[in-house]
């Protein structure tokens, strides 16, 4: 069964993943806010991916 069938809210609440986090960043969410969200979800891989993305982004700015 898909998520929408198991949970009626799954259809209206998007999954928080790397792509969603990057979209939110470009819409004005802070780096720390997004990293904190990944921590609250207990998603270590997402947290690592976001830290890497932000480190690379800052490296490009300072290069």
Q: Count of domains in the chain?
A: 1
> CA 57, CA 43: separation in Å to the nearest integer?
21
9 lies in a domain?
A: no
Tens-place pLDDT, residues 25-61: 999 999 999 999 999 999 999 999 999 999 999 887 7
> CA 54, CA 12: separation in Å to the nearest integer?
28
Q: Which domain holds residue 48?
A: 15-62
Tens-place pLDDT, residues 7-25: 776 667 678 899 999 999 9
8 lies in a domain?
A: no
> CA 12, CA 56: separation in Å to the nearest integer?
32
What pTM did the predictor assign? 0.72
Q: What are 42-51's contacts with CB under 8 Å, separation 24+?
A: 43/16, 46/16, 46/17, 46/18, 46/21, 49/18, 50/18, 50/21
């Amino acid at each position: 069964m898909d998520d929408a069938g198991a949970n009626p809210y799954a259809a209206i609440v998007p999954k928080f993943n790397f792509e969603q986090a990057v979209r939110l960043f470009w819409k004005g969410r802070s780096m720390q806010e997004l990293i904190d969200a990944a921590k609250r979800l207990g998603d270590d891989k997402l947290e690592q991916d976001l830290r890497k993305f932000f480190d690379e982004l800052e490296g490009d700015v300072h290069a």
